[in-house]
Amino acid sequence: MTAETQAPTTHQGILDFVNEVAAMTQPDRIHWCTGSDEEWTEITDALVATGTFTRLNPAIKPNSFYAASDPIDVARVEDRTYICSVDKRDAGPTNNWMDPNEMKDLMRKLYAGCMRGRTMYVIPFVMGHLEAEKPMFGVEITDSAYVTASMRVMARMGTHVLRRMEELDAAGQDVHWVPALHSVGMPLEPGQADVAWPCNDTKYIVQFPDERAIWSFGSGYGGNALLGKKCYALRIASVMARDEGWLAEHMLILKLTSPQGVTKYVAAAFPSACGKTNLAMLEPTIPGWKVETLGDDIAWMRVGEDGRLWAVNPEYGFFGVAPGTNEHTNPNAMKTINKGNSVFTNVALTEDGDIWWEGLENPPAKATSWKGEAWTPESDFLSSHPNSRYCTPIKQCDILAPEYDDPRGVPIDAILFGGRRKTTVPLVFEARDWTHGTFLGATLSSETTAAAVGAVGVVRRDPMAMLPFIGYNAGDYFNHWITVGKDNDAAKLPKIFYVNWFRRDDKGDFLWPGFGENSRVLKWVVERIDGQAAAVETPIGHVPPPEALDTDGLDMTAEQLEAALAVDVEEWKAEIPQIQEWFEKFGDDLPAVLWTELDGLRARLGG
């Protein structure tokens, strides 16, 4: 089968990619995605017919679907994720590496005939704006209809993207696009029945940074399979950003407006399942303050001609953690998904054709768990996988900031780093300067979560919340951050802060109520930027005294607030050898100024 017979494009590079992959994987059919509503209906109908999707009750969640994955395919697989740079050194000490040619030989064997009996979907997409000065195109080839439907929610995709590529090509512009190949790795022999969630025990999630290509095999799960997201917009884009002088980061973007009408833009990097989506859609509990959302997971940031750091969200949807999401914690996410047009994976299915998960209000008397078991509120197992997800269009978010559609993005005033720490890290503190902020990012630590396969609750260093997503040597990445600070006017760059919503008391309860109350922290942050709020200088940075936070109506004792803000010198001293060990991993690739920062911290803590 050749692609040209039905190919809706004359773009030779794309035709070659499609033909080459078709020859290797031998699909029964090739479907060029248009992105139309009719196509969505056709694909979701087919997914319902094969049992991958269950249509939800249209009176409750219109045009929405439930899916349950194979229990072996529920999260990102970091041990199966590779950065196959030509030079091993470029992958650095934090990534898995294999020689690109060796990896390709190995994967070609896996891909050989892997789409037999299936449809191969060709998805032209763009991360970021189609009107960007240099649009960030991609073409994902996949044999998964689930991935195709999800990509339509998460990325701008379809014929209009192809047209723009052809147009720029015809105008003689250097049109850059990332070829992204995905297969679930389960061919169907004649007569063989399909399963609801095809996948393979063998999984490879591979980035080839030098040629800016992605090969993924064996998994249908979000971050492993929707290749525009983590694989392109973070791993590949971070390499492009290194080469071109910008930043591709694992950050939400929000717009904060004060009661006086003063607007600030905040970006925040927290590791997976540590609160980005919730903060991005926050409903402030302090009167008169307003939050609008620009993005909940990824920010691409460039220094503009005005010297400020401008950010865009390259995505088109939210791929949010379901458990814990409810009318109290995230009413805006609830409103967004209730409008429909969404896909829910690995949550529970209720008898009236709705979905439910742990933490949602009104548990149903009975439901079907994500594993297909009969579940009741008395069951001793979870109804939903801890990493179950909703996938919903960003345009349905009532508090989406209008600037979302502006290809220039928004100028960032503050960057927050944060993680999930039971101890040690106070609710909020401010970095001394950009380099110190880079040190805070580079030493960010957090307890692992269910968003990746592996143990949960283990403290690890997760630099800039990018540990699984830096597409090159993390030592070079730190140096890139330092350089952004050095090459630009520090006064115009965002101020850097560090937050921890997850500190606990002796009983193991969260000290800080979090969610909407985090607006109190945002208020202190913007008041610091404007030079209005008080701070105490401590060995780790500038911490608010309790009275500098707006606590009007906050349901917390003075002792609790003090405990949330406390800097315990002994706890911090215990961090020093851990940071030292972390830095030693990088050898000479670690920027010397980060050692200087560590020495400074040690000295301030009293040696």
Check residue 277 for interaction with Mn ion (CB under 5 A).
yes
- In the DSSP assignment, the letter for residue 504 is B
Annotated binding site: 76, 221-223, 230, 250, 272-278, 297, 387-389, 420, 515-518
- The token pair that represents 260 in the structure block: 């006086």
48 three-state secondary structure: helix
Which residue numbers belong to the known binding site for substrate? 76, 221-223, 272, 387-389
What is the spatial distance between Cα 286 and Cα 283, in angstroms, rounded to a whole number? 9
Alpha-helical segments (H) within 74-194: 100-111, 145-154, 159-170
Match 């990097």 to its residue by tokens.
269
Q: Is 276 in the site for ligand GTP (CB under 6 A)?
A: yes
Minimum Å gap between C-beta 25 and ligand GTP is: 30
Burial of 415 (0-12, 13-18, 19+ CB in 10 A): buried
Q: Which of Mn ion, ligand OAA, ligand GTP, none does residue 443 bind (CB under 5 to 8 Å by kind)?
A: none
The active-site residue out of 84, 199, 231, 274 is 274
Give the HSE-up count for residue 552: Cα atoms under 13 Å, Cβ half-sphere: 8
- Which of ligand OAA, Mn ion, ligand GTP, none does residue 223 bind to, with CB < 5 to 8 Å depending on kind? ligand OAA
How far is the C-alpha of 607 from the C-alpha of 605, rounded, in Å?
Answer: 6
485 to 514, contacts with ligand GTP by CB under 6 A? 501-502, 510, 514
386 or 544: CB nearest ligand OAA: 386
Binding at 461: pick from ligand OAA, ligand GTP, Mn ion, none (beta carbon under 5-8 Å per type): none
User: Site for ligand GTP (CB under 6 A): which residue of 8, 13, 62, 324?
Assistant: 324
For ligand OAA, the closer CB: 216 or 368: 216
Other CB atoms closer than 10 Å to residue 69's CB: what's the count? 25
76 binding partner (options ligand GTP, ligand OAA, Mn ion, none; Cβ < 5 to 8 Å by kind): ligand OAA
Q: What residues numbered 442-461 form the site for ligand OAA, per CB under 6 A? A: 451
CB of 440 to ligand OAA, least distance (A): 20
Characterize 129-168 residue by residue with b for buried, 16 or more Cβ atoms within 10 angstroms of its Cβ, and e for exposed: beebeebbbbbbbbbbbbbbbbbbbbbbbbbebbebbbeb
* DSSP conformation letters of 553-590: T----HHHHHHHH---HHHHHHHHHHHHHHHHTTGGGS
Q: Please report whether residue 222 would count as binding ligand OAA according to CB under 6 A.
A: yes
Q: Residue 255 contacts by C-beta under 8 Å, 6 or more apart in sequence?
A: 263, 264, 265, 266, 291, 292, 293, 294, 401, 403, 410
Which one, 448 or 519, has the nearer CB to ligand OAA? 448
Look up 274 and say whether it is catalytic.
Answer: yes
User: Quick one: which of 439, 416, 441, 481 has its CA closest to 599?
Assistant: 439
Q: Provide, rounded to whole angstroms, the least separation between the CB of residue 416 and Mn ion.
A: 15
Q: Give the residue numbers of the binding site for GTP.
A: 273-278, 389, 420, 515-518
Which residue has its beta carbon closest to ligand GTP?
Answer: 514
List the structure tokens of 543: 């911490």
| Residues that bind ligand OAA in the complex, under the rule CB under 6 A | 76, 222-223, 229-230, 272, 297, 319, 451
- Give catalytic residue positions: 274
| Residues that bind ligand GTP in the complex, under the rule CB under 6 A | 270, 272-278, 296-297, 320-321, 323-324, 329, 451, 501-502, 510, 514-515, 518
